[in-house]
Amino acid sequence: MQTIFQLFPSSVKAAKNEKNIGIPCCEISDEPSFSWRGLNLDCCRHFMSKDFVKRYIDILAYYKFNVLHWHLTDDQAWRIEIKKYPKLTQVGAWRVESDGSVYSGFYSQEDVKEIVSYARIRFITIVPEIEMPGHSLASLSAYPENSCSGGPFKPANSFGVFKDIYCAGRDSTYIFIHNVLDEITQLFPGKFIHIGGDEAPKNLWKECPICQAKMKTEGLKDENELQSYFIKNISAYLTDKGKSVIGWDEILQGGLAPGTIVQSWQGFQGAVDAANLGHYTICSPESFTYFNTSPENLDLRKVYSFNPVPDTLPENKKNYVLGGEVNLWTEYIKQENVDENLFPRMLALAEVFWSNPQNKNFDEFYSRVKKSYADLRSMGIKYGREAKSFTYNITIDKIKKESVVNVVKLQDNIEIRYTVDGTIPDSNSHLYLDTLKISKPLVLKIAAFNAYYITGVALTLKFVNNMASGSKITISNQYAERYNGGGKEALIDGIKGTTNFHDGLWQGYEGVDFEGTIDLGELKEIHSVAPTFLFNQDSWIFLPEKVEISLSEDNIAFNNIRTINNDIPQKSTEVLIKEFAALYNKEKARYIKVKALSIKECPDWHSGSGGKAWLFIDEILVK
C-alpha cells in the first residue's frame, strides 16, 4: 500500500481527497533487506507532543520503517506515567532550566495506548526504552532511595553522563524496576523492551557498601560483573514475561544475559562481538546513524554508504544483524527542529534498510532525492540540509586594515544571505554576491536558504578591533586538530568565538597548558592584553587556573608580568566566555607572551573524573 501511495503525485498526498488519481501501470515485486528498520526518538531531552509522535508514525510507515524506538526515560526526564510510582512523572517529568524556567511534559497511560494502537495499524512496532542502571537521574529524583547515596537529586538541566545511577546492591531497586516493567509490558504489547545499559559510571558502586556487599554474596569480581548481574536480573524478569530484551553495547561488559539483543552505537564492534557470541544485534553506529550530528559532519552521501552488516563479520554470522536505526538524541534539538535533522538523511537510511545492497548507487538515489523534495513539502516535512552548504575563509588586508570574508557555496540549489546588525538573516536580508570587507566592529550573520526557508543555524562572526590582527604568533603546545579554530592565527584574527564550542572559532588544548607569543612586528604602546577562554564544564571544557601575561622588546627578556587568577568556580554549570585581562600603562613592547595554566585533568567531582580536561582559547585581544 505504501508503495502505491508513493506513486501518487505530490499534490494528492497533500490534499488526500482527490477522486481520480492516475498512477503509472507497473508491477511491484518487493521485500526488505532488513527486518529491523528503526527510528530512535529521544523524547526526554526535549518533549514531543502526542500528535507529533503520531505524525512520525505516519512518516515512518510511508518510508517503510517498522520500528519506533521510543526513548522515554533519562537524566533530564521521566516521560511515561507509572501508576504505582506517580512521583516518576510528578517529579521526574519537570526540570528547572538554568534560567529558572520550567520545562516539562509526559505521556499519560491513555496517551501511550492511543499511540501504540495508532502505530499497530500502520505496522510499526513501538519499542519503549527504560534506561538503567545509568541515565536515571530523573527517576532517582523522584525515588532517591534507589540510589547509592540516598540523594537528594533533581532532574538534570544540563547534558552529559551523570555519576548517580541506580544502586545495584539494594534488593528494593530491583523490586522497583520490576514493578515499573510490569506496567510497561502491559502498555506495550510488542515483543521488545529496551533497557538502555549505556554510559553507567561505576564510581559510586565502588564506594557503596551495599553494592560491595552484593558483589561479595554473588561472587562478582568487579563492578562490570555487577552491571552484568543487574542486567541479567532484569533480562530474566522480562524474558519470563515473554519479552526480548535490547541493550546498548555496554551490556557486553561483564557478560551478556541469554537471548539479549545488542544495539551497537560505539562503532560496529558491539555488533560484531554480539553476533560472534550468537546474539542478535541492531547496528546503529554513531558515525553513520546519529542524526543529531549536523549534516556538515554527517552528510547524505556518507549516510547512504552505511551498511548495517559489519565487514568483519564472518559469513555465517551475518544473519544475526537484524538491521539498524536512525538515532535522534535531542539535547540540542526541539520538536520544531526534528524534521530538519532527520530529512533528507532519513531517505538514505530508508533505502539502506530496504534495498538490496547490490543495487545501491548514490547518483541514482540522489536524482530521486531531488524529486522527493516536492513529496516532503506536500507532507509538511520541513527538511534540512544534505551536507555542508557553505564554507568561508577570512583574510586580513594589513594595508587597508580590513578583514575580507569570502563565502563559498557548496550546493547549487541554495542562496546565501547575511546581516550585519546581529539579527538572524531572513529571505529579505542582503544576498551575498561577492566578498565582504569589514573594517569596524560588528556582528556578521551568514545563513543558507533553500527555495523556501533558512536551513541550519546562521554562522555568527563577531568582529572586534584587535591591534594584534595580522601579526605573527608562535605556539608552544599543540592544539587538537578537531578544534583548531582555523589555525594559530585564529587567535588574533579579530573574530571572537561564540558560546558554541563547535563553532570552529575556538582552539582546544587537551590536557595541556597554552603558551603563545605574539610578535607585533615593531614596538607598540600596550594598554591591555585580554586572552579569551570558553567555559563549558559539561563538555569537559574548563577555565585556566591562572593566566600569566608578559611583555618584551626583544623576545628574550620578558617583564611587566601580570598574573590573573580564575575567579569562577569550575563547578558552575553555566556556559560562558571569560576574558583574562592584563592592564598596562602604555608600556612599549613588540612581543606579548600569554601562558594559561590548564587544570589538565577533570576534577574528582566531575563525571569525566581523571579524563583529560580541555582548555579552549580564542581571541587574544590587544589594545
- From 74, 75, 548, 618, the catalytic residue: 74
The residue annotated as part of the active site, out of 199, 249, 351, 386, is 199
| Interaction partner, residue 210 (ligand ACM, Zn ion, none; CB < 5-8 Å by kind) | Zn ion
Using CB under 5 A, pick the residue from 128, 134, 169, 197 that binds Zn ion.
169
Compute the distance between CA of residue 220 and CA of residue 126 in angstroms, rounded to an integer: 35
Question: Of 12, 14, 161, 210, which lies in the binding site for Zn ion, with binding defined by CB under 5 A?
Answer: 210
> For ligand ACM, which is the closer residue by CB, 170 or 194?
194
Choose between 147 and 281: whose C-beta lies nearer to Zn ion: 147
Cα gap 549→595, rounded to integer Å: 6
Which of ligand ACM, Zn ion, none has residue 211 at its interface (CB below 5 to 8 Å by kind)?
Answer: Zn ion
* Nearer of residues 199 and 299 to ligand ACM, judged by Cβ: 199
Residue 333 grid coordinates: 534539538
Q: Is 135 part of the annotated catalytic residue set?
A: yes
Instruction: State the binding partner of 320 from ligand ACM, Zn ion, none, CB within 5 to 8 A by kind.
Output: none
Angle, helices 345-354 vs 362-378, to 10°: value is 120
Pairwise CA distance, residues 619 & 579, whole Å: 9
- The CB-of-135 to ligand ACM minimum distance in angstroms stands at 8
- CB-nearest residue to ligand ACM: 198
CB of 211 to Zn ion, least distance (A): 4
Interaction between residue 248 and ligand ACM (CB under 6 A): yes
Residue 134 is a binding residue for Zn ion (CB under 5 A): no
Out of 68, 132, 148, 458, the only residue in the binding site for Zn ion (CB under 5 A) is 148
512/41 Cα distance (integer angstroms): 38
Q: Which of 70, 78, 229, 265 binds ligand ACM (CB under 6 A)?
A: 265
Q: Which residues contact 548 (CB under 8 A, 6 or more apart)?
A: 561, 562, 563, 564, 593, 594, 595, 596, 597
238-253 burial code (b ≥16 CB/10 A, e <16): bbeeebbbbbbbbbbb
Binding to ligand ACM (CB under 6 A) within 175-204 occurs at 198-199
Is 70 one of the binding residues for ligand ACM (CB under 6 A)? no
The DSSP call for residue 99 is T
Task: Give the nearer residue to ligand ACM in terms of CB position, either 284 or 403.
Answer: 284
Q: Which of 46, 69, 71, 135 is catalytic?
A: 135
Residues 247, 280: Cα–Cα separation, whole Å: 11
Least distance in angstroms from the C-beta of 568 to ligand ACM: 29
Query: How many residues make contact with ligand ACM (CB under 6 A)?
Result: 4
Q: How large is the angle between the packed helices 171-187 and 223-240, nearest 10 degrees?
A: 40
Residue with Cβ nearer Zn ion (213 or 457): 213
Composition of the chain by helix, strand, coil, percent to 5: 30, 30, 40
Give the shortest CB-284-to-ligand ACM separation in angstroms: 8
Q: How far is the CB of 199 from ligand ACM (least distance, A)?
A: 5
Length of the chain: 623
Q: Is the Cβ–Cβ distance between 469 and 477 less than 8 Å?
A: no
Binding at 167: pick from Zn ion, ligand ACM, none (beta carbon under 5-8 Å per type)? Zn ion
Binding-site size for Zn ion (CB under 5 A) equals: 6
- Least spacing, CB of residue 297 vs ligand ACM, in Å: 16
Question: Which is nearer to ligand ACM, 199 or 619 (by Cβ)?
Answer: 199
Nearer to Zn ion, 204 or 387 (CB): 204
SS (H, E, C) 294-329: CCCCCCHHHHHCCCCCCCCCCHHHHHHEEEEEEEEC
> Is-contact 289 327, C-beta < 8 A?
yes
Question: Minimum Å distance from CB 245 to Zn ion?
Answer: 22
Closest by CA position to 384, among listed 464, 473, 454: 454
Distance separating alpha carbons of residues 420 and 400, to the nearest angstrom: 20
CB 175 within 8 A of CB 228: no
DSSP string across 386-406: SS--EEEEEEEETTTTEEEEE
Active site residue 74: yes
Residue (45 or 385) nearer to ligand ACM, CB: 45
Question: In the complex, what is the shortest distance from the CB of residue 147 to Zn ion, in angstroms, rounded to a whole number?
Answer: 7
Sign of CA dihedral 188, 194, 199, 201: positive
Distance, in Å, from the CA atom of 518 to the CA atom of 49, rounded to the nearest integer, reads 53
By CB under 6 A, residue 558 contacts ligand ACM: no
Active-site annotation, residues: 74, 135, 199
Q: Which residues bind ligand ACM (CB under 6 A)?
A: 198-199, 248, 265
Q: List residues near Zn ion by CB under 5 A.
A: 148, 167, 169, 208, 210-211
